[in-house]
Amino acid sequence: MASSRNADNSASKRTGPTGVPVAEASPNAAHSQAGEYLTTAQGLRLPDTDHSLKVGDRGPTLLEDFHLREKITHFDHERIPERVVHARGAAAHGVFESYGTAKSVTKAKFLAEKGRQTPVFARFSTVLGSRGSADTVRDTRGFAVKFYTDEGNFDLVGNNIPVFFIQDGIKFPDVIHAAKPHPDREIPQAQSAHDTFWDFVSLHTEATHHVMWNMSDRGIPRSYRTMEGFGVHTFRLVNGAGETSLVKFHWKPVAGIHSLVWEEAQITAGVDPDFHRRDMADGIDAGAFLEYEFGIQIMPDDGTDSFEGIDLLDPTKFVPEELAPVQLIGKLTLNRNPTNYFTETEQVAFHTGHLVPGIEVTNDPLMQARLFSYLDTQLTRLGGPNFSQLPINCPHAAVNDMLRDGMHQSAIHTGLAPYRPNSIDGGEPLVATPEEGGYVQSPRPIEGTPVRAHPASFDDHFSQATMFYRSLSEVEQGHIVEAFTFELGKCYEQAIKERELQVLANVDADLCAQVAAGLGLPAPKGTPAEDVVLSPTLSQIVVEPGPIAGRKIGVIADAGSDLAGVAKLRKSAEKLGASVLVIAPVGGVLGRGSRKEVVERTLLTTRSVEFDALVVAGGTTPTGDIKLVLLLQEAFRHCKAVGAWGDGHAVLQDAGIGPDGPGVVVGDSVVKTFTDDLFAAIGLHRAWERAADVMASAVPPAG
């Protein structure tokens, strides 16, 4: 039964100010949107809105699908001027250098030639929130890279999650409508913790796998520099001999894959909603560039579009790295911040149809719709068809496109014959053969009856979700339980909670039982897969310290502190690309002469979420200041490295932090053993051994 709030809203939509039903009062029934059946905008009843029209259930999408085009076109133009999705973004310029190791599978020059450097522009973003939303909300992140190659622009428009919510692009407006704020109140902003989102994903169980990733730590990355990227779809690569392979694209961050913890993300959204973009911009300015290795998983193009039983055309599935290892083919370095946010970051236009010879698309029905939607959406956002002439979008290759006029045309065309063939302009522009760089799709058979359907292999919605959950560590699984409990706890409708619990019961019985207990509901029975093969590479927990470039260390000090030790710690950290910020009770300068330190943060202007580690300098006096206690306890609770040297450990003890716990580094002075231990603790990202005790201490005692 609908809630009273929803029932009232429903009634208000059907009656006018005087209480007369709108459909009766108005001769134009189309304005009322009150028809019993789903129709097109012209009133044509529709039998299906979940499948695009394809050639056979595995074939490409047909351009004649007028419903797909109308639905996507209307969706693309819903909001002006910001992006409908991925509105909140930050970007940077950089360079991609090829290792040359992809030459055997692709003739794309920017990948095949060893040492070739290609300028790039990369934009990271959240999906749901508006431009003014926070960076650290739980959400999928966009990971879009524009390669300005000598053969034309290639755009890899991916996410930080390798799978997507839906299998067919015709449902993209539906999932985004469901995930966006409720239309009656325009809340909640940039969150999935509400009824309409969980109503959709609990009814469309193909979303289950993506939801598992989003409820995991992957949904709240620590920074863009520690965020993995994926091309999501399966692509076809073509080498110089015309041989084809199917591939999945991957971005592997050199800094490792790390995330925030939930409380930390919530605090950060309040105290620094620009946390991710600030981290990237500050890091680049400081010379701590963002680095990612580019890799591919290679599968045979044998005509089945499947690999090891996995349907490669299903965007809700991924290929575990244990089955197809990621082969590294190049490195991306982001090393320059934009000069102007609007001109570059806001006006950049990515498109999955921006391809170069050697890279082709496949029949993935989500990708097929994106090939239309990405181009169409720029017509509203960027004022017409000439958006490619904006400097940030302009190819570095020579352009002669015979496209004329239109809004914001800035190219000054010469000649009299923008058509082919012609004799007036000497027959130019010429068409290029494949040997001259002409883009020609690989021949492949296409046959079948036009249908709105999907193959039977798309029906498995749970086995990979089960594999993902069971492949994670106990700590990571606990975070997923907490995330589901929080999100479903924000839903008003009891039926939605119960339906999603049934979905979880088909993923893992223990997961379902824990979430049900948190919601105070009975756990339903399900049929989860029992024989899934685990994929250890899915866990983000590391056992060996990684790089600490770009990380921030807060050093707590006062007028009596060992400032020489602070200087030594700063020097050691800077050699590894990390930065040290001095935190003191009040601003100004500590010390004098050659031994002085500028106070960069005060206890009033900072929170622990800003730092990857907190260290108390020797000689610092315990004060019992609640802001200092909170600072240290938060960092400890979030399992970050904390430390002290000399008698600074008394300040830790004042905050209830003993010297012997995991991730707690103490020493007599700032010597090499102390800094080595501290940097190793930061390189592990968190002291996860502390997590169980921290979580247990948050639970009130029984009785």
User: Is 339 within 8 Å of 143 (Cβ atoms)?
Assistant: no
- pLDDT computed for residue 30 by the predictor: 40
392-421 mean pLDDT = 88
- pLDDT computed for residue 5 by the predictor: 36
Per-residue model confidence as pLDDT tens digits over 342-365 = 999 999 999 999 999 999 999 999
Q: How confident is the model at residue 564 (pLDDT cuts 50, 70, 90)?
A: very high
Top pLDDT among 139 and 414 is at 139
- pLDDT computed for residue 24 by the predictor: 38
Per-residue model confidence as pLDDT tens digits over 15-71 = 333 343 333 333 444 445 677 777 777 777 888 888 999 999 999 999 889 889 988
Which residues contact residue 1 at a Cβ distance below 8 angstroms, ignoring those fewer than 6 apart?
none
Per-residue model confidence as pLDDT tens digits over 251-299 = 999 999 999 999 999 999 999 999 999 999 999 999 999 999 999 999 9
Strand partners, 121: 93, 146
CA angle 383, 384, 388 (to 5 degrees): 100
Give whole-number Cα distances, 546 to 9, 161, 329, 347, 454, in Å. Answer: 53, 22, 21, 35, 43
Q: Which of 639, 506, 617 is nearest to 557 (CA)?
A: 617
Catalytic site residue 337? no
Which residues contact residue 469 at a Cβ distance below 8 angstroms, ignoring those fewer than 6 apart?
212, 477, 480, 507, 508, 511
Question: What does pTM read for this prediction?
Answer: 0.90
Which of 153, 159, 386, 393 is the catalytic position?
A: 159
- pLDDT computed for residue 664 by the predictor: 97
The CA R_g of the chain, rounded to the nearest whole Å, is 28
Per-residue model confidence as pLDDT tens digits over 160-169 = 999 999 999 9
Per-residue model confidence as pLDDT tens digits over 515-542 = 999 999 999 999 999 889 999 999 999 9
Q: Domains of the chain (ranges plus CATH)?
A: 1-47 (no CATH), 83-161+217-389 (2.40.180.10), 471-538 (1.20.1370.20), 552-697 (3.40.50.880)
Which of 51, 86, 258, 479 is the catalytic position?
A: 86
Q: What is the DSSP string of 476-492?
A: HHHHHHHHHHHHHHT--
- pLDDT computed for residue 702 by the predictor: 41
101-130 mean pLDDT = 97
Which residue is listed with tokens 């900072």? 606
Which helix (DSSP H) or strand (DSSP E) does residue 74 occupy? Answer: helix 66-76
- pLDDT computed for residue 693 by the predictor: 75
Backbone angles phi, psi at 306, to 5 degrees: -145, 160
482: pLDDT strictly greater than 90: yes
Amino acid 242 reads G
- pLDDT computed for residue 17 by the predictor: 36
| Burial class of residue 586 (count of CB atoms within 10 Å of its CB; 0-12, 13-18, 19+) | exposed
Q: Is the dihedral of CA 262, 265, 267, 270 positive or negative?
A: negative
Q: How confident is the model at residue 696 (pLDDT cuts 50, 70, 90)?
A: low
Per-residue model confidence as pLDDT tens digits over 499-508 = 999 999 999 9
- pLDDT computed for residue 420 by the predictor: 87
Mean per-residue pLDDT of the chain: 91
79: pLDDT strictly greater than 70: no
Measure the CA–CA gap between 11 and 435, rounded to whole angstroms: 65
Catalytic site residue 159? yes
Using H for helix, E for strand and C for coil, what is the string for 356-425?
CCCEECCCCHHHHHHHHHHHHHHHHHCCCCCHHHCCCCCCCCCCCCCCCCCCCCCCCCCCCCCCCCCCCC
Structure tokens at 200: 């959709």
